Structures are given as C-alpha cells and as structure tokens.
Amino acid sequence: MGPVAKWGLIAAAVVILLPIVMFAVLSLTSRRPSTLGPVAGKLRSCPDSPNCVCSCETSGSHAIAPLVWKGDAREGLARLKSVIETIPNTRCEPSDHSDYLHAEFTSTWFRFVDDVEFLVDSAAGVIHVRSASRVGHSDLGVNRHRVERIRELFEAKN
C-alpha cells in the first residue's frame, strides 16, 4: 500500500470516527436540567430550538395536544408510569408532587437523554406533557413521535 492510499484510509477513518466521538462526548456531558418541574401550575415553555414539544404551547412547531384524563391525578400518573415502563431505555424519576411525573428516555445508539414531563390538570381533564432533548438543536421529530406513541399506549389502557 502506497503512502497516498495510507493517508486516504487515515482520512476516511477520521471522517467516520470524529462524529461518533463527538456524539459520545455530548451524551456523556449532558446533565439533568435544573429547570424541570412545574412552575405556577404549568410546565415550562420550550426553548427556541426545534427539539422540544409541549402541550402548554398554544401555537407553532412546539405545540402538541395534552393527554385526555378525567380521573384522579395519582391514578392517571400511575397508569402513565405503567405505560412508560413498557418502553425500552426509560426511567421514571421520583417526585414530591402528586400531580407531576418526570421520565428520562435514553437513545439506543448514542445514549442521548430526553426529559419528558407530565402534569395533571384535573380542572381541564388533561395531563399536560413536555418532551425535550437535553443536547443538540434538532431531534428530527423524535420528541413529537414519542409523545404520540405514549398517547396511543395510554389511550389503549382504557
């Protein structure tokens, strides 16, 4: 193998491995946001980046419908937790709020963590939801798809 071919192989290896290493570093450095949890009875708004959806948003690309629930808050969250626990790579976090649930969803390949929050609004008969990526700018629709899948599973438990 000549020197040009060797350098070509080295360049190809760098081009392939560099993004993988960058994704791994991003994954390892992501931390749970300190901004999780309800504020004044609502979930926080999404940032400007397109990697978040929230049912408290009323318009734009971040808006998504809440889950419909007309029962007891604890019962609704227990049902929701049982749905979430059927989804691979998830973990429900303990909470001091009886009307709030936080779950972490970890991607299979690069171990990116997304935070998904649920807040029961008994007066409106809904469970609000917010799903946001911890790192990156775009999520290619992963958060929206996740919420719709949770909705589908939640409604099927009726």
This prediction's pTM: 0.81
Count of Cβ atoms closer than 10 Å to residue 109 Cβ: 9
Count of Cβ atoms closer than 10 Å to residue 87 Cβ: 13
Is 44 in contact with 130 (CB distance < 8 Å)?
Answer: yes
Angle at 101 between CA 99 and CA 103, to 5 degrees: 175
- Token pair of 108 as six digits: 């299979």
- pLDDT tens sequence across 54-105: 999 988 999 999 999 998 999 999 999 999 999 999 999 988 889 999 999 9
- pLDDT tens sequence across 112-139: 999 999 999 999 999 999 999 998 888 8
What Å distances lie between residue 149 and 28, 63, 76, 87, 95, CA to CA? 27, 16, 17, 10, 23
DSSP bridge pairs for 91: 104
Q: Where do the domains of the chain lie, and which CATH numbers do they carry?
A: 31-156 (3.30.310.80)
